[in-house]
Amino acid sequence: MKTIYKKPESISDKPFHYCPGCGHGVVHRLIGEVIDELGEEKNTIAVVPVGCAVMGYDYLKCDVLEAAHGRAPAVATGVKRCLPDRLVFSYQGDGDLAAIGTAETIHAAARGENITVIFINNTIYGMTGGQMAPTTLCGQVTQTSPCGRDPYTQGFPLRMCEILSQVDGVSYIERCAIDTVQHINAAKKAIKKAFIYQREHGAYSFIELLCACPTNWGMTPAQAIERVGREMSEYFPLGVYIDKIGSCGR
Amino acid sequence: MKQMMKGNEAVAAAAIYSGVKCFFGYPITPQTEISAYMAKHLPENGGVFLQAESEISAINMVYGAAGAGFRVMTSSSGPGMSLKQEGISFLAGADLPCVIVNVMRGGPGLGGIQPSQADYFQAVKGGGHGDYRLIVLAPASVREMAEFTVRAFNLADKWRMPVMILSDGILGQMMEAVEIDELPAVEHYEKPWAASGRGERKEHNIIKTLYLDPEELERMVFSREERYKEIAREHQDWEEYLCDDAEIVVTAYGITARIARAAVERAREKGIKAGLIRPITLYPFPVKAFENERRAVICAEMSAGQMVEDVRLAVNGRYPVYFYGRTGGMLPDEEEILNCIERAAKGEMV
Amino acid sequence: MEYRIIISGFGGQGVLFAGKVVAQAAMLSGYEASWLPSYGPEMRGGTANCQLVISDKPVGSPVVRTADVLIAMNMPSLTKFMDKTNGIIVTDERFAKFCDSPAQVISLNTDICNGGAKFEGLTNMIMLGAMIAKTGILGISEVIAAINRIAKGAAAAIDRAAVEYGWGCVGERVCAS
């Protein structure tokens, strides 16, 4: 019998704790597939965030460091500067990367650290139960924006790909979405390209992935995934923002 | 070769001697020479110097490098040390070795930039959140700044925990002669736990601090407490001066001890049986140094009274413990310490 | 033997450097020595001082409360430290006349250190030379060796010459109060 679908080698057998419809499981799988395809499982070091993905260390079979909230790019910097021939990536949510860790995010990019940052944007704090995130859309209802986010008192959502596009140290930035098969395939390609750029060009890459959080959005998985393609993609346009190595920037 | 060095430079030179791979820092007075020395000399010794965007990033870069299994150091002072506390708690919680240098200045807040010992509580009681300790070493000379740095790296790797050098603005800024070629031996420890890439290892290594199961977290904390007890048995260190027959003992650490020593000598000239106990390890606190009976102990500090609490715990009510302190960047005065000794000898000290 | 020295002046006058030369020379002479700088937010033009202790046994407190020698390179330094000096004060003759101190005052004409003159900007080295000549705590050869260790090339040569010049001033220009 021919195997046509199996779990990536670099992902453990432990069942994911993520909710149905959540983007994390899909993205973990994509990363696992890419690590397998590049043959980097024994050479990869992951830095996981504070947030739902903190338990990434149970799912990834490579060596893993759990970082303090927002500090993953600094931790990844420490690792990579000591071990320049390892493949090092950080995996961070929106609160982690774009609120408490904004400084770490921007300065790791400014230094052009030879790491890959995987950014899960689901417009909400998931693990703490659904509070307003730096990427929460205007009008979006959360526990801490019960009347909908009012940008004039609560700030506007941050578009991190656009912000980082102005930073000279960056080599590659792409925003993808985890909603349709086509988009998920594109996301995998982006992750693979970023890892190859790191390995072969010493490049800093930033891959933003728009994901659903059905539980904290108060939606069914189907509704939530539809929101990713509609509302979220409208405010956070998909595409390649910078690609200095492939030189097909937007 | 004997050379004149600033305390800050001696720390940096000794760290390079100890095989430090990375230094991550952020400018703050009065410790900046450590960064400057590292920026100049660490790369030429095959290491990495990086000025971080913040104290917080610096300590988290330390976490990354320590987690990857390398010797790593950072340094700061006052407000910068406060910012690092989150990271220090994570380092302790993940059982990662590293060396942290605090060149103390006056606080709270921005405080001042003149020397102080007001971060004692922060250093020896943990400083960040959670149940944890650091080994804290208190040098009193430029030579000890260098020697204790080597010792700190050895202890950190041996016990898998952060070690702090608790220094101050005077020790950091002053120059004294130091034999940088005659430092203690560098010990080497295997780090099979490091997240350095799995390679041929069967299981992956995880550097983490999260234990959602309370039973597991309690087990982790208690096992660390056992280690701290072992450290307390093995590593209490202090220096005594004229203590054999001393009735009035002054206790002071770091630069204050040198001022107190001069006061003790003068008290002896006046016929008072005075002595000095200089704690070298502040954690573990040298409780054993206070086992002998005395008439009284005077704790002298550059703070409003912090180490005195540990002295009281050590003495446990067996004889009076008095406090003398200057703070905010003001230095303890030899004359004033002498005066305290005289009053204590007459039973007039309160 | 224990000698306590304060060197003080404007930032940029080489106050800290002069102190480093003394500390280095003391070390080369086999003494224990400590050098403690003032440090603060001022850079060039602010006030600066350093405190030195030279001893034949390990240095206790590196802080100088009462100095055996003061080198005061400007008026504010003289005002600030003259009351804390018991032995000798080395200063410029323009300031010396305001000196109200029981200490012995060595007042130097420093015209040779001013605009375009031979030892422009080397008041520090001249006063240092005068100080060692007067006190005898360090030999001129140790001071020259110290300069050779911490300064380089042309700078070291002119520093050495200025120290020797200052050393020669004492005796001729001494002006005890």
pLDDT in tens, B265-315: 999 999 999 999 999 999 999 999 999 999 999 999 999 999 999 999 999
Taking a C-beta distance cutoff of 8 angstroms, is the pair A35, A8 a contact?
Answer: yes
Taking a C-beta distance cutoff of 8 angstroms, is the pair B333, B287 a contact?
Answer: no
Q: Which pLDDT belongs to residue C171?
A: 65
Same domain, B188 and B300: no
Q: Which pLDDT belongs to residue C46?
A: 79
Residue B31 sits in a domain of what CATH number?
A: 3.40.50.970
Contacts of B4 in chain C (CB under 8 A): 20, 23-24, 27, 33, 35
Same domain, B149 and B253: no
Q: Domain count of chain B?
A: 2
Q: Considering the domain boundaries, does residue C174 fall inside one?
A: no
Q: pLDDT > 90: what percent of chain B? A: 98
Nearest to B261 among C41, C60, C65 (CB): C60
Same domain, B98 and B40: yes
In terms of Cα–Cα distance, which of B318, B322, B315, B319 is closest to B340?
B322
Cβ <8 Å between A86 and B196: yes
Residue A75 sits in a domain of what CATH number?
A: 3.40.50.970
Chain B interface mutation, best of C34, C42, C64, highest count of B Cβ atoms under 10 Å: C34
Of B235, B268, B298, which one is at a domain's C-terminal end? B235
Tell me the shortest Cα–Cα distance from C56 to chain B, in angstroms: 13
Residue B63 touches chain A, beta carbons under 8 Å: yes
CA distance C59 to B257: 12
Q: Considering the domain boundaries, does residue A13 fall inside one?
A: no
DSSP per-residue string spanning B251-299: E--HHHHHHHHHHHHHHHHTT--EEEEEESEEES--GGGG-S--SEEEE
Q: Considering the domain boundaries, does residue B350 fall inside one?
A: no
Helix (H) or strand (E) holding B77: none
Residues spanned by the domain of C7: 2-169
Q: Considering the domain boundaries, does residue C177 fall inside one?
A: no
Residue A103 touches chain B, beta carbons under 8 Å: yes
Same domain, B197 and B328: no
User: pLDDT, tens digit, for every residue of C18-36?
Assistant: 999 999 999 999 999 999 9
Q: Considering the domain boundaries, does residue A236 fall inside one?
A: yes
User: pLDDT, tens digit, for every residue of B172-200?
Assistant: 999 999 998 899 999 999 999 999 999 99
Does the pLDDT value for residue A202 go beyond 70? yes
Same domain, B200 and B125: yes
The mean of the pLDDT values for chain A is 96
Q: Which pLDDT belongs to residue C40?
A: 76
Q: Considering the domain boundaries, does residue B179 fall inside one?
A: yes
Tell me the shortest Cα–Cα distance from B174 to chain C, in angstroms: 4
The mean of the pLDDT values for chain B is 97
Does the pLDDT value for residue C44 go beyond 80? no
Residues spanned by the domain of A74: 23-243
Residue B56 touches chain A, beta carbons under 8 Å: yes
Of B200, B218, B235, which one is at a domain's C-terminal end? B235
Cβ <8 Å between A76 and B24: no
Q: How far is CA C55 from CA B2, B121, B176, C33, in A?
A: 16, 35, 12, 6
Name the pLDDT band for C174 (thresholds 50, 70, 90). Answer: very low
Q: Which pLDDT belongs to residue C42?
A: 67
Residues spanned by the domain of B208: 2-235
Q: Which pLDDT belongs to residue C173?
A: 40
Of B184, B205, B235, which one is at a domain's C-terminal end? B235
Q: Which residues pair with B275 in a beta bridge?
A: B249
Does the pLDDT value for residue B235 go beyond 70? yes
Q: Considering the domain boundaries, does residue C26 fall inside one?
A: yes
Same domain, B231 and B274: no
Q: Which pLDDT belongs to residue B202?
A: 94
Contacts of B196 in chain A (CB under 8 A): 45, 63, 83, 86
Taking a C-beta distance cutoff of 8 angstroms, is the pair B201, B138 a contact?
Answer: no
Contacts of A55 in chain B (CB under 8 A): 210
Residue B82 touches chain A, beta carbons under 8 Å: no
CA distance C145 to C134: 19
Q: Which pLDDT belongs to residue C116?
A: 86
Q: Which pLDDT belongs to residue A1?
A: 83
Does the pLDDT value for residue C176 go beyond 60? no
User: pLDDT, tens digit, for every residue of C62-100?
Assistant: 999 999 999 999 999 999 999 999 999 999 999 998 888
User: pLDDT, tens digit, for every residue of B210-231?
Assistant: 999 999 999 999 999 999 999 9
Does the pLDDT value for residue A100 go beyond 70? yes
Cβ <8 Å between B258 and C60: yes
Query: What angle (nearest 5°) sits at the alpha carbon of residue B150, between those of residues B145 and B153?
Result: 120
Supply the pTM of this predicted model. 0.95
Provide residues of B within 8 Å CB-CB of chain C: 2, 4, 29-30, 113, 141, 169-170, 173-177, 255, 258-259, 261-262, 265, 331, 333-334
Same domain, B217 and B339: no
Q: Domain count of chain C?
A: 1
Q: pLDDT > 70: what percent of chain A? A: 98
CA-CA-CA-CA dihedral for B251, B254, B259, B264, to nearest 10: 30
Same domain, B309 and B170: no
In terms of Cα–Cα distance, which of B318, B319, B320, B323 is closest to B252?
B323
Q: Which pLDDT belongs to residue C177?
A: 33
Nearest to B29 among C24, C37, C39 (CB): C39
Cβ <8 Å between B198 and A65: no
Q: Considering the domain boundaries, does residue A98 fall inside one?
A: yes
Q: What is the ipTM of this complex?
A: 0.95
Same domain, B105 and B174: yes
Cβ <8 Å between B113 and C60: no
User: pLDDT, tens digit, for every residue of B11-29?
Assistant: 999 999 999 999 999 999 9
Chain A interface mutation, best of B38, B61, B96, B191, highest count of A Cβ atoms under 10 Å: B61
Chain C residue with CA closest to B179: the answer is C27
Q: Considering the domain boundaries, does residue A185 fall inside one?
A: yes
Q: Considering the domain boundaries, does residue A12 fall inside one?
A: no
- Taken in order B151, B152, B157, B158, the sign of the CA dihedral is positive
Taking a C-beta distance cutoff of 8 angstroms, is the pair A201, A246 a contact?
Answer: no
User: pLDDT, tens digit, for every residue of C110-154?
Assistant: 989 988 889 999 999 999 999 999 999 999 999 999 999 999 899
Tell me the shortest Cα–Cα distance from B48 to chain A, in angstroms: 7
Same domain, B100 and B230: yes
Q: Which pLDDT belongs to residue C172?
A: 44
Q: Considering the domain boundaries, does residue C139 fall inside one?
A: yes
Q: Domain count of chain A?
A: 1
Sheet holding C67-72, edge to edge: B2-6, B175-179, C32-37, C47-55, C2-10, C67-72, C85-92, C104-108
The better pLDDT of the pair C172, A58 is held by A58
Q: Considering the domain boundaries, does residue A49 fall inside one?
A: yes
Q: Considering the domain boundaries, does residue C175 fall inside one?
A: no
Taking a C-beta distance cutoff of 8 angstroms, is the pair C49, C64 a contact?
Answer: no
Same domain, B181 and B215: yes
Residue B49 touches chain A, beta carbons under 8 Å: no
Same domain, B167 and B61: yes
CA distance C55 to C70: 17
Residue B43 touches chain A, beta carbons under 8 Å: no
Q: Considering the domain boundaries, does residue B18 fall inside one?
A: yes
- Subunits with 3+ Cβ pairs within 8 Å of B are A, C
Does the pLDDT value for residue C43 go beyond 80? no
Does the pLDDT value for residue A247 go beyond 80? no
User: pLDDT, tens digit, for every residue of B93-145?
Assistant: 999 999 999 999 999 999 999 999 999 999 999 899 999 999 999 999 999 99
Residue C15 sits in a domain of what CATH number?
A: 3.40.920.10
Contacts of B198 in chain A (CB under 8 A): 41-44, 61-63
Q: Considering the domain boundaries, does residue A237 fall inside one?
A: yes
Residue B269 sits in a domain of what CATH number?
A: 3.40.50.920
